[in-house]
Structure 1
Amino acid sequence: MIRVLIVDDDPMVAKWNETYVSKLNGFQAAGVVHTYADAKEKLRHGQVDLVLLDIYIGADNGLQLLQELRAESFWEGDVMLITAASDVDSVKKAMRYGAVDYIMKPFDFDRFREAMEKYKSRTKLFAEHEQIDQDRLDHQWFPKVEPVQEDLPKGLSVSTLKRVEEGVAALDKKAFSTEEVADVTGISRVTVRKYLKYLAETGALGERLTYGAVGRPQHLFLLEE
C-alpha cells in the first residue's frame, strides 16, 4: 500500500485530493497538512511514501521544501506537484529537484489517476526487481514517442489503418493477400485492399503477382525487410 501525504493550505482542495486518493486501489491517505512545517514534522515521524505538494502556501514555497527534502536525509520518498504554478521556472525546478509528476490546477480525476497509476507501476517495478533491464526501464520512464501521423488521403482513417497494420503483424508472414488480412481483422476485403494499397504506395509494403498453373494470378502484398 502506497501511503500518501497531502500538503495544501486550501482545506477544500486538500479534501478533494484526499477523496481522489481514496478512490484508487493500492493507495491510502497518510494525512493532510496545511503548512510546510507540519509536512516536515509528518515526514520525520510518520510513514509516508508519496507527497502531493502544492507550491504556494502563504509566503512559503513548496519548491524550497522539495529542495530541502532532497538535501536532507531523514526522508527518502517521492514528491508529486499539484499546483496552480504554470511558469516554466517552477516546472524546471520541480523536475530538477526530482518531482515524479507535475499536475496543474485545475485538473480532472482522469489526469490524477493516470499520474498515480504510473507511479504505482514504477514502484511495483522497483519492488519486484533487484536489477532492471533496458526494456523495462524504457517502458516505465522513457517511452518511445511515436511519429506524428501525417494526414491520410480522403476516405482513410487512422483507427482503421491501425487495425489493418495490426492484422498484418498478426499474420506474421512475409507475403499475404487482401483476403487473409480481411479475415484476421474482420474488415471488408474492399476496405482492407484500399488500406493495403495505401501502405504499398507509401513504401511500407511491396506488391507482387503470383501465377499458378490455372486461374487468375494472385495479388500479394509483401512485408519487406
Structure 2
Amino acid sequence: MIKVLVVEDDPMVGKLHEHYLTQIKGFQLCDIVRNSDEALKIMQTKEYNLVILDIFMPGMDDGLQLLAKIREQEYDVDVIIVSAANDKDKIKAALRLGAFDYIIKPFEFERFNLALNNYKSRYNLVEEQSILKQDELDKTIIHQDTDVEVTLPKGLDKNTLNTVWSEIIKIDGMFTTEEISAKVGISRVSIRKYLEFLKSLKLLSLDLHRGSVGRPVYKYKCIDKNANIIDLYIQ
C-alpha cells in the first residue's frame, strides 16, 4: 500500500483529495496537513511514499520551498504537485526539483487518477525488482501516458459502464436520469453515479431545464460520442 501525505491549506480541496484517493486502489491517505511547517514536522516522525503538495500555502513562501527541503534533507518520498499555479517558472522549478507530476487546479478525477496510476506503475516496478530492464523503465518513465492501468471509482462496474455508454450514444439530444435508468435496468441512484463519472470525464454535460408545468428537470447531453478515453475504462 502506498502511504500518502496531503499538504493542502484549503479544507475543501483536502476533502476532495481524500475522496479521490478512496477511489483508487493501492493508496492509503495517512495524514492531511495545512502548511509546509506541519509537513516537515510530521515527516520527522512518520514515513510516507508519496506527498501530494499544493504550492500556495501559509508558512514558507510556497510549496516549492517544501519540495526543496524534502530533497535537501533526503526524505525517501515522491511528490506530485496539485496547484492553481500555472506559470511556467513554477512548473519548471517543480519539475527540476523532481516532482513526479504536476496537476493544475481545477482538475477532474480522470487526470488525478491517471497521475496516481502512473506513479503506482513506477513505484511497483522499482520496489519489486532489484534489476530493471530498459523497456520496463521506458513504460513508466518515458511513456507515462501509455499502457497505464486506470481504475473506476468504487461501486462502478466496467460492464455496466459499457452498457450505460452504449445506450447514451444511441440518443440524439438530451436525456434524463430516469430515461437511462429505464433503458439499462438499474436504479436511478445507481445510474446517477455512472452519469456523474462520465460527466467528470467531460463526456456529458448537465443542464437545468424548466418545463411549462411542474418542477425543473436536469438533463444530460453527450458531448463527444467518439471519445477514446472511455475505452480505458471498459476494455
| TM-score, L = length of structure 1 | 0.62
CA displacement at 1:136 relative to structure 2? 0.8
Of all paired residues, the percent bearing the same amino acid is: 42
- For the Cα contact (< 8 Å) 2:7–2:52, is it kept in 1? yes
Say if 1:38 and 1:105 are closer, same or farther in 2 by CA, change over 3 A: same
Q: Say if 1:30 and 1:47, in contact at 8 Å, map to a contact too.
A: no
Paired residues of 2:118 and 2:145 also in contact (CA < 8 A): no
Q: CA RMSD in A?
A: 1.7
Structure 2 match to 1:204: none
In the alignment, the residues of structure 1 paired with residue 104 and residue 138 of structure 2 have an alpha-carbon distance, to the nearest angstrom, of: 25
Structure 1 residues 55 and 130, CA gap change in structure 2 (3 angstroms): same
Structure 1 partner of 2:131: 131
Distance 1:98 1:133, change over 3 A: same
Q: Is 1:66 the counterpart of 2:67 in the alignment? A: yes
**Pairwise CA distance, 1:140:** 1.1
**Which residue in 1 is equivalent to 2:16?**
16
Q: Distance in 2 between matches of 1:134 and 1:61?
A: 36
> Could you tell me which residue of structure 2 aligns to residue 99 of structure 1?
99
Scaled by the length of structure 2, the TM-score of the pair is 0.59
| Deviant stretches of 4+, over 4 Å | none
Q: What is the identity, as a one-letter code, of the residue corresponding to 1:122?
A: R
Aligned counterparts of 2:96 and 2:11: Cα–Cα separation in 1: 29
Change (3 A) 1:14 1:142: same
CA distance in 1, matches of 2:144, 2:111: 20
Paired residue for 1:121?
A: 121
* Bigger mean CA deviation after superposition, 121-130 or 103-112: 121-130
Task: Name the residue aligned to 2:153.
Answer: none
Q: Distance in 1 between matches of 2:144 and 2:85?
A: 28
Q: How does 1:1-225 map to 2 (within 5 A)?
A: 1-58=1-58, 60-73=61-74, 75-143=75-143
User: How far off is 1:42 after superposition?
Assistant: 1.3
1:67-96: CA deviations, max 9, x gaps? 1110113x2100000000000000100010
User: Are 2:4 and 2:28, in contact at CA under 8 Å, matched by a contact in 1?
Assistant: yes
Distance in structure 2 (CA, Å) of the matches to 1:127 and 1:46: 19
Say whether the 8 Å CA contact 2:118–2:144 is kept in structure 1: no
Cα offset, 1:144, TM superposition: 9.4
Q: Give, in angstroms, the shift of residue 121 of structure 1.
A: 0.6
**8 Å Cα contact 1:4/1:31 also seen in 2:** yes
Give the distance between the partners of 1:11 and 1:144, measured in 2 at CA. Answer: 30
Q: Look up the SS of the partner of 1:37 in the other structure.
A: helix
Contact 1:6/1:53 (<8 A) preserved: yes
> Over alpha carbons, which structure has the higher Rg?
1
Unaligned runs of 5+ in 2: 147-235
Distance 2:33 2:8 in 1: 7
Determine the C-alpha separation between the residues in 1 that align with 2:118 and 2:103.
13
Aligned residues: 145
* CA displacement, residues 128-177 of structure 1 (integer Å, 9 cap, x when unaligned): 2111111111111112999xxxxxxxxxxxxxxxxxxxxxxxxxxxxxxx
